Amino acid sequence: MPNKKVLIVSGLQIFPAQSGGQIRTATMAESLGLLGFDVTIYSYTGRRADYLKLRRSSYNVIGQSVKEFTNRNFIYAFIQLISYRLAIPPLWLTLFSRFYVPSELRKLIKESKLVIIDFPFLYPLTKSIDRPCILNSHNVEHHIINQQHIFKNLLTSLIQKIEINAVKSVDHTMFCTQKDMDFLGVFAKHKFTLVSNGVNLTKINAIRSEKSRFCMRKKLGITSDTKLVLFSASAYYSNLESYKFLQLFCHRNQDLLAGLKLKFLILGSVADKAVDCRSYITTSRVDNVYEYFLACDAAINPVMLGSGSNIKMAEYISFYLPILTTEFGARGLNMVDGRDCIHFTRKNLALVLESQFTHKNENFFRSISENAYMNNVMSIDMKTSLRSVKYFIPEEK
């Protein structure tokens, strides 16, 4: 039997996936497993709770075909923490991987048929890899530096050089959006493929049930006549900005939302604590976000900043949630206003909500959610997207 072992090298622990970047990589690993590959993830750093418990570096079996090794070296963790606090991308990974490859990682590279570098910062590892190497690009990284950062210009220039070197160094690059591919693909010598942000449809279809929806709505205290509108987000700057907008909008429009019997569910670490207000609920970080998706009647994406595309949109589509979105929030997808989604701006959201939720719009909502699924299912199913990469074409039996 041929070697079908794939190694993914990441700067951060991937499972359980909690942020957009982690979800992209986790879904990729699970989808490769479904395609018949034996996938191992090597993560340079772990989670805070495990360091506090003094857990040693270890393997975690995710599924039959996926496992993750997390390096819990305290020096790496400390440097990563400092970088995070200073809002500096993990440039330390670029420096470290240029001069040193941990022993367990060397062993895994030797055992694998194919290596995927997650994000560009680990590209110097390619010098130590004597087999095909793929870059999993999540964004154009130098486009998403915080505009207020004191070292913005320096970081932008440095990270741009890292990204260019990364696409030049690997055998193939998987870009997230056509815009990213157009921008960086010129440096990749035509060795690239569009692999959009997607989901594990096999897993999502298995958990959708009316019973689970009822139980979660009861847990949240949502009555049968209340429309629950989802905003799912991690504590990333573009999401934080959107959360502040939604929070202010809810406080200013409490009477309108109450009259429409509409409430927002702000799901994930974008909110630092769980609260239940008159017009919105926040959960803070939760272990299983998809349980909450089942309770919702619609979804919203008010994002106006960032690069790549929003994984939350692929998740909304896969749960057949009618979507209200800014035009920017729908980037990277085949989403036409009035056919697949409902566009709004920051200035007209109240009017859009009033026009859409005042009258019975069940048929229209069902139509746009079904259209969004039909017009995007090939791109949001990660397993299908990966089949377009020559290295992942399943072998004929």
Q: Does any domain span residue 187?
A: yes
Distance CA 184, CA 192 (A): 10
Do 156 and 296 lie in one domain? The reply is no
- Judge if 85 and 185 occupy the same domain: yes
Q: What is the DSSP string of 133-176?
A: EEEE--S-GGG-S-TT-TTHHHHHHHHHHHHHHHHHHSSEEEES
Residue 136 in any domain: the answer is yes
Domain assignment present for 397: no
pLDDT tens per residue, the chain (397 residues)?
A: 356 999 999 999 999 988 888 999 999 999 999 999 999 999 999 999 999 999 999 999 998 899 999 999 999 999 999 998 888 899 999 999 999 999 999 999 999 999 999 999 999 999 999 999 999 999 888 777 766 677 788 888 999 999 999 999 999 999 998 888 988 888 887 789 999 999 999 889 888 877 789 999 999 999 999 999 999 999 888 999 999 999 999 999 999 999 999 999 999 999 999 999 999 999 999 988 999 999 999 999 999 988 788 999 999 999 999 999 999 999 989 999 999 999 999 999 999 999 999 877 889 999 999 999 999 999 999 999 999 998 997 654 4
- Would you list the DSSP string of 215-255? HHHHHHT--TTPEEEEEE--S-HHHHHHHHHHHHHHHHTHH
105, 120 contact by CB (below 8 A): no
Q: Kindly report the backbone phi and psi dihedral angles of residue 193, in degrees, each rounded to the nearest multiple of 5, phi listed first.
A: -145, 150
The answer to the question of residue 244 being in a domain is: yes
Distance, in Å, from the CA atom of 190 to the CA atom of 351, rounded to the nearest integer, reads 46
Same domain membership, residue 374 and residue 307: yes
Question: The pTM is what?
Answer: 0.87
Is residue 138 within 8 Å of 21, Cβ to Cβ? yes
For the chain, the first-to-last Cα distance in angstroms comes to 12
What pLDDT is stored for residue 396 in this prediction? 47
Q: Which of 191, 170, 193 lies closest to 180, judged by CA? A: 193
Say if residue 322 is preceded by a cis peptide, omega within 30 of 0: no
Give Dmax over CA atoms of the chain in angstroms.
Answer: 65
Residue among 146, 152, 125, 142 at smallest CA distance from 180:
142
Query: What CATH number is given to the structural domain containing 270?
Result: 3.40.50.2000
Pairing of strands 66-70, 58-63: antiparallel
Give 62's contacts (C-beta < 8 A, 6+ positions apart). Answer: 15, 29, 30, 68
182 & 289 share domain:
no
Both tokens of residue 248? Answer: 């202010």
Of the candidates 322, 296, 144, the one whose C-alpha atom is nearest the C-alpha of residue 230 is: 296
Same domain, 329 and 227: yes
Q: Quick one: 353 and 229 in the same domain?
A: yes
By C-alpha distance, which of 297, 305, 286 is closest to 245?
305
Cα 227 to Cα 33, 177, 265, 372, distances in angstroms: 37, 32, 10, 20
Residue at 220 is within a domain: yes
Q: Domain tally for the chain?
A: 2
Tell me which residue of 89, 197, 67, 182 sits closest to 138, measured CA to CA: 197
Q: Does 158 reside within a domain?
A: yes
Domain-located, residue 311: yes
- Give the domain range for residue 346: 204-380
The reply to whether 119 and 213 lie within a common domain is no
Report yes or no on 62 lying in a domain: yes
Distances (CA, A) of 150 to 156, 241, 358: 11, 19, 47
Tell me the three state secondary structure of residue 188: coil
For 68, the 3-state DSSP assignment is strand
Q: What is the predicted pLDDT for the residue at 3?
A: 61
Instruction: Clarify whether residues 287 and 255 are in a common domain.
Output: yes
Judge if 367 and 387 occupy the same domain. Answer: no
Determine the pLDDT at residue 1: 34
Query: 239 and 222, same structural domain?
Result: yes
Place of tokens 């270890």: 58
User: 221 with 314, same domain?
Assistant: yes
- Answer yes or no: do 156 and 283 share one domain: no
